[in-house]
Amino acid sequence: MEKIRFACDYGEGALPEILERLVQTNLEQTPGYSEDAYSEQARAKIRELCGQKDAEVQFLVGGTQTNMTVIASILRPYQGVISASTGHINVHETGAIEATGHKVLAVPGHAGKLSAEQVEQVCRAHFADVDHEHIVQPGMVYLSFPTEYGTLYSAEELRAISRVCREYELPLFIDGARLGYGLMSEKNDVTLKELAELCDVFYIGGTKCGALFGEAVVITNPALAKDFRYMIKQRGGMLAKGRLLGLQFDTLFTDDLYFQAAKRANQLALKLRRAFEKKGYPMLMDSWTNQQFPVLPEEEMERLAERFVFSFWERVDERHSAVRFCTSWATTEEQVDELIEAL
Amino acid sequence: MEKIRFACDYGEGALPEILERLVQTNLEQTPGYSEDAYSEQARAKIRELCGQKDAEVQFLVGGTQTNMTVIASILRPYQGVISASTGHINVHETGAIEATGHKVLAVPGHAGKLSAEQVEQVCRAHFADVDHEHIVQPGMVYLSFPTEYGTLYSAEELRAISRVCREYELPLFIDGARLGYGLMSEKNDVTLKELAELCDVFYIGGTKCGALFGEAVVITNPALAKDFRYMIKQRGGMLAKGRLLGLQFDTLFTDDLYFQAAKRANQLALKLRRAFEKKGYPMLMDSWTNQQFPVLPEEEMERLAERFVFSFWERVDERHSAVRFCTSWATTEEQVDELIEAL
Amino acid sequence: MEKIRFACDYGEGALPEILERLVQTNLEQTPGYSEDAYSEQARAKIRELCGQKDAEVQFLVGGTQTNMTVIASILRPYQGVISASTGHINVHETGAIEATGHKVLAVPGHAGKLSAEQVEQVCRAHFADVDHEHIVQPGMVYLSFPTEYGTLYSAEELRAISRVCREYELPLFIDGARLGYGLMSEKNDVTLKELAELCDVFYIGGTKCGALFGEAVVITNPALAKDFRYMIKQRGGMLAKGRLLGLQFDTLFTDDLYFQAAKRANQLALKLRRAFEKKGYPMLMDSWTNQQFPVLPEEEMERLAERFVFSFWERVDERHSAVRFCTSWATTEEQVDELIEAL
Amino acid sequence: MEKIRFACDYGEGALPEILERLVQTNLEQTPGYSEDAYSEQARAKIRELCGQKDAEVQFLVGGTQTNMTVIASILRPYQGVISASTGHINVHETGAIEATGHKVLAVPGHAGKLSAEQVEQVCRAHFADVDHEHIVQPGMVYLSFPTEYGTLYSAEELRAISRVCREYELPLFIDGARLGYGLMSEKNDVTLKELAELCDVFYIGGTKCGALFGEAVVITNPALAKDFRYMIKQRGGMLAKGRLLGLQFDTLFTDDLYFQAAKRANQLALKLRRAFEKKGYPMLMDSWTNQQFPVLPEEEMERLAERFVFSFWERVDERHSAVRFCTSWATTEEQVDELIEAL
């Protein structure tokens, strides 16, 4: 019997509506490189949703690719990107950012989050140093919404970070690999429109939110949009059959599909959370999105691992570890119930 | 009425068998990053077909990504890659190779092809120069099979290049973005097994040969395989839902699908070629694969452009230009006949 | 008996005035990184000589370092630098430019020189191409004055190139590794002031023109000056004891030393040229600067090589080769006469 | 009246013996790029001193340049370099290492030093992680001897680090920008021969230890020596007049000059240290080399700053800061006494 996988949010394929449209349009002949009508239509929908009628919208295949392309496009050679030390770019992309020549300026973070004070402190310290020419200059800020720990920035926190960024002329880039789960969390108070306004560039994650693959980069600061497609091509992110990307995002933003799928995944995740808490297991993080991090005794981990797949996160003490359970658009109520029953 | 597109070989989606299997397997839960069973199965089939039971086989999404990842993985920082000046890496990838720090050592080429003599000449000249430390060292050889002009290397030509490469310890990398069309050309005398043996690494193109997307890298020289997956991840080419790649290649190499689709596209391309020749139009290149380059008078170009899409290639004289017509797995006999009729 | 070396213009140390001042000031305590008073004084003299009172002037140690730092500072990641194919950056810097991520867009050149038409043609072709996003974008122009072949651009030629650069918004960078020899050539009609005005950044070569080492970068386009010192530090070109550089340039631009030394070297080179011509040996290049390229029969090469060191340049036919003889500030009339006598 | 500078160890020129020889040899004609007889002679002396008769010895101009060239030469693209977080490469080189594509894997360190346990822990954690392909692979270890805080590794500590490095096949690179001060410290128990044996590559600092400029890289692991000169040229570190470097190191290693100058500077630094301690000022670091870090009250700092230049290091509490005083070959007993008197 196959184990049930809660290991990640990219274990299955795509929302069935996406596959249907891929099948329907398979023989249509379109221009390549996302210059087709489906991509244009998806762009229009995204601009509308974001309330950014002039935003540059481009589609890439995956998250690491998107992060490195956006960051390399923005920074001057001697600049680095400020990130929480737990940020995906700092720990889980095999040095993709450094491979483009830039240092990740990691700051400790709290529950996966940067604070406005930390950003300000890095900038102030840099420019106050008499030797600042010998030190990597902060050139932009990267944060994930939600974070790699499932946590969320409040609107107030984002506004404060945005203010500091604008004061120091640092573009703010929001990694939205799991944006849907963040926006649809019951604890979230940031709208997509406000998020788009507060940052300079962000992306709407498809891979982890119901698409086969794909990330939609939205550049709201026009100064950063010029020639961005050259960057995509150079970094290997320009998909020949760009229609595949356009069509997927067009579908995701039809009938609220993207948001409803995320909402349902969040609900199942919270159901799981409550079950863990009921059993007395503490949560490593106060997450209200699709990733949950219970702290389990070793025996319980082993017992659950016989029927379920989940990720080891970190050792908490000699007899306990935090693990990660993820839900996604594809998770069923039955799967969750089976896990709860097993607890 | 929509124009019929012969502009490229990636204008449609994928062979229907591929979509069918994507639909069938959509809800299966698999590990990510091509560590799933479909990817393993595809690897086994590819190793078998290539006669290389120990080859490292990895899947990436697109051609530029594959070229830059393979080349950056092989070269030392002060080395460059020898390529025909018309090579895709030299002219059509927005400097992706240089962005990884390496010079493309472009040599003139003939009909898109390098010769063994040219490779030898570059190496001999380099090491004979007293100032060779001031010059980029040749570190590997890149060639396309078939070339960007639809032309083919004969087995004898490939053997000669391979011999020079081994003499100078230069890994030989074959870009097989259109490998199917090359192997199935009626003029081809190179088997996949021999090709695999003559080079150190090559890739089997999926994007332009019937897949939705995807390229299968085959590393036959074990010294080049170590840690290659780190490179894929770092350069943004590690697809989260790796099953999508494994499944596609597994399907392509079931029932000879990959090869039969290429063969059919070649036949349609040759049918077109004969029609152009019959009308008295010379061909820029003696191509026996799916790309054909007739030289047309301006009026004829304009007339055809009313109903068909094709690519401008290069101006030949004041009144004539070479253009490119491509066929693919998706091209129908009717489309070709309609074009022939229009001639 | 030691052979007499005409192999290059950096075979000896420095003008004695420079060593004297190094000795005099050896125990002075100064701030590092060219923030000392000597460096400031040298900057002021250079700004005055160039007629550019607001120019940014910075000192680096050597030519390759300067070229790569300036070019990496100017280009966006997807841009390349247009250069004659014989340009130093294209052939003799071990791919230093590519190591910073940028392609050298080499055009054939004539006698080591680019033409305005060639630059325009590259730009026009690029932006006219429907696929220009797939091609490296021309981002700046590099030329050497004098060229690697000792030849010179006329004022009219430079003006034409400058016009095209400004039309296409391409910064123009002039490599002045041998600037003194160029400016002081009897055939030169470009003043330092006009040169400074026509380009956006150039450097005044010290290493090959009388200094122990050092190149003075002059950035006349203020948009390119911002944060340039970060670039110098990052690329390893920030000399700790910056006084050494400032003092040398301060000395070179005292009492016309730089220019008189170059003038004398040119005169000796021309004396050599006339001697070669009198013997009936043709010159590969019509050079009026300190490098001369006679075409010699093999026997004569071998005979001269017994007493003199010079550089092999290129084989001209089966029995003749072009070689290079260089003079410098250190060359004596006696050395030249001895060579002439030996002819 | 000029202030007396204790701000750094590169505020003056060079040991007089060096200038003398530069003057003596100024008109000698030598081949370039450190292929001259003086460079050969310096290499021979260095090999002898290190007890490494086959070591590759090359000369570069400065420290950042040397660090980036050595590190970029050793690492594979997906590898990073382990360093103490206070390591020069991590904090004071404007991201030079990242600009070559590599992450600095910073670990906390203690008093500027790495421990063998920390190195082992990084390696063990990396290879134990199931997702290690998504994480930068540790590829080498960098440490400074003495450290940026003037502290020293004991022979036992170095041996332990070396053992771990060899176990994990990580080349060990020792930054010896201030090597002389380290080796000649009264607390040091590491010989140059043992240091050379324990690491794979290190450099003997000239710039901060009596030369005008220059660092001598010693590669004791033959696997790392191949083609290193290509790297030097590509990264802009190949000095045209290489004699200047060879001659300086030849002089430094004549009559024990290098070591005696360092010893004297250490003695003066320790004299200063004792004076600070006598006044009751604690030292931030227990340094027995030429850098001393007293913790001073603000008023005392201001008072001393009227007559002396020194570096602010870090704020310790609201009313105290640590500052740095450096001595060098050029520091006189009088300067030190004047400072002591002022205390």
Q: What one-character-per-residue DSSP string does D178-207 give? A: THHHHHT-TT----HHHHHHHSSEEEEE-T
Is the peptide bond prior to A146 cis by the omega test (within 30 degrees of 0)? yes
pLDDT score for D212:
98
When scoring A93, A234, A310, A311 by the number of chain B Cβ atoms within 10 A, the one with the most, hence best to mutate, is A234
pLDDT for A2 equals: 87
- Using the Cβ of A127 and the Cβ atoms of chain C, whether some distance falls under 8 Å is answered with no
CA closest to B177 among chain A residues: A240
pLDDT beyond 80 at D1: no
Report pLDDT for A114.
97
Nearest to B236 among A23, A96, A207 (CB): A96
Q: Of D4, D1, D62, nearest to D331 (Cα)? A: D4
The region that residue D94 occupies, defined by phi over 0 for left and psi between -120 and 50 for alpha, beta otherwise, is: left
**What local confidence, expressed as pLDDT, does residue D20 receive?**
98
Instruction: Decide if pLDDT at B1 tops 90.
Output: no
Which of C91, C104, C136 is nearest residue B135 as measured by Cβ atoms? Answer: C91
CB C126 within 8 A of CB C118: no
Q: Which residues of chain D lie closer than 8 angstroms to B80, CB-CB?
A: none
Closest CA in chain D for residue A103:
D98
Mutate to test the interface with B, among D78, D98, D232 (most CBs of B within 10 A): D78
Tell whether D63 lies on the interface with C, counting CB pairs under 8 A: yes
From the list B8, B99, B212, the residue facing A244 with the nearest CB is B212
Interface contact A77-C229, CB threshold 8 A: no
pLDDT of residue A202: 98
CB contact under 8 A, C77 and B92: no
B91 neighbourhood in chain C, CB within 8 Å: 135
Which residue among A8, A12, A230 sits closest to B26, beta carbon to beta carbon?
A12
Q: Do D230 and B137 touch (CB under 8 A)?
A: yes
Whether C233 and chain A come into contact, CB under 8 Å, resolves to: yes
With contacts defined as CB-CB under 8 Å, which chain A residues touch D92?
Answer: 131, 134-135
Give me the residue from C7, C66, C330 closest to D27, CB to CB.
C330
Of C77, C100, C238, the CB nearest to A231: C77
Confidence bin at D124 (pLDDT 50/70/90): very high
Mind listing the pLDDT tens digit for each residue in C306-329? 999 999 999 999 999 999 999 999
pLDDT above 90 for C1: no
Chain C's closest residue to A132, CA to CA, is C230
Q: Do C101 and B101 lie within an 8 Å CB cutoff?
A: yes
C236: nearest CA in chain A? A134
- Stretches where chain A sits below pLDDT 70 are none
Quick one: pLDDT at residue B303? 96
B20, A19 Cβ separation under 8 angstroms: no
Chains within contact range of chain A (3+ C-beta pairs < 8 Å):
B, C, D
Find the CB nearest C234 among A73, A77, A234.
A77
Looking at residue A174, what is its pLDDT? Answer: 98
Q: Could you tell me if A92 lies within 8 Å of chain D, comparing CB atoms?
A: yes
Contact of A233 with chain D, judged by CB distance below 8 Å, is answered with no
**Which token pair is B263?**
């063969």
What the block records as the tokens of A36 is 């087709």
Indicate the residue of D77, D95, D102 with minimum beta-carbon distance to A136.
D95
Q: In A, which residues are within 8 Å of B63 by CB distance?
A: 240
The span from the CA of A270 to the CA of A265, in Å, is 9
User: Which chain A residues are Cβ-neighbours of B95 within 8 angstroms?
Assistant: 234
Shortest Cα distance from A101 to chain C (angstroms)?
9
CB-based contact, D101 to chain B, within 8 Å: yes
How far is B140 from chain D, CA to nearest CA, in Å? 16
CB-closest option in C133, C227, C231 to A230: C133
Chain B adjacent subunits, 3+ CB pairs under 8 A: A, C, D
DSSP structure string for C225-260: TTTHHHHHHHTT---TTTHHHHHHHHHHTSTTHHHH
Report chain A residues whose CB lies below 8 A from the CB of C227.
Answer: 76, 78, 137
Cis peptide preceding C146, ω within 30 of 0: yes
Q: What is the pTM of this model?
A: 0.98
Torsion angle, CA of A94/A97/A101/A107, rounded to 10 degrees?
-100
Query: Given a contact as 3+ CB pairs under 8 Å, which chains touch C?
Result: A, B, D
Q: Is C133 on the interface with A (CB under 8 A)?
A: yes
Sequence-separated (6 or more) residues with CB below 8 Å from residue C322: C284, C293, C294, C295, C296, C313, C314, C315, C316
User: Which among D93, D135, D137 has the least Cβ separation from residue A92?
Assistant: D135
Whether chain A has a CB inside 8 Å of the CB on B101: the answer is no
B134 interaction partners in chain D (CB closer than 8 Å): 233, 238
Q: Do A72 and C76 touch (CB under 8 A)?
A: no
For strand A56-60 and strand D320-326, is the pairing parallel, antiparallel, or unpaired?
A: unpaired
ipTM above 0.90, yes or no: yes
Interface with chain B: mutation pick from C94, C105, C131, highest number of B CBs within 10 Å: C94
CA neighbor of B149 nearest in space, from B292, B322, B296: B292
Inter-chain touch D235–C96, beta carbons under 8 Å: yes
Residue percentage of chain D with pLDDT more than 70: 100
pLDDT in tens, D152-180: 999 999 999 999 999 999 999 999 999 99
pLDDT of A157 reads 98
Alpha carbon distance B306, A1 (integer Å): 59
Least Cα separation, residue D50 to chain C (angstroms):
26
* Cα dihedral value C155, C157, C159, C162, nearest 10: -130
Interface contact A212-B241, CB threshold 8 A: yes
Whole-angstrom Cα distance, residue D259 to residue D182?
Answer: 10
Dist CA A275 CA D336 (whole Å) = 71
Burial tier of C228 (Cβ tally within 10 Å: 0-12, 13-18, 19+)? buried
pLDDT digits (tens, 9 = 90+) for A309-333: 999 999 999 999 999 999 999 999 9
Q: How far is CA B225 from the centre of its chain?
A: 20
Domains of chain D and CATH, by start = 4-10+257-342 (3.90.1150.10), 16-252 (3.40.640.10)
- pLDDT (mean) for B159-164: 98
How many residues in total does chain B contain?
A: 343
Residue whose token pair is 């290429």: B262
Q: Which residue of A has its CA nearest to B68?
A: A236
Instruction: Give the one of C101, C133, C233 whose C-beta lies nearest to A229's C-beta.
Output: C133
A92: chain D residues, CB-CB within 8 Å: 131, 134-135
Q: Please, which chains are in contact with D (at least 3 CB pairs closer than 8 A)?
A: A, B, C
Q: How far is D121 from chain C, CA to nearest CA, in Å?
A: 30
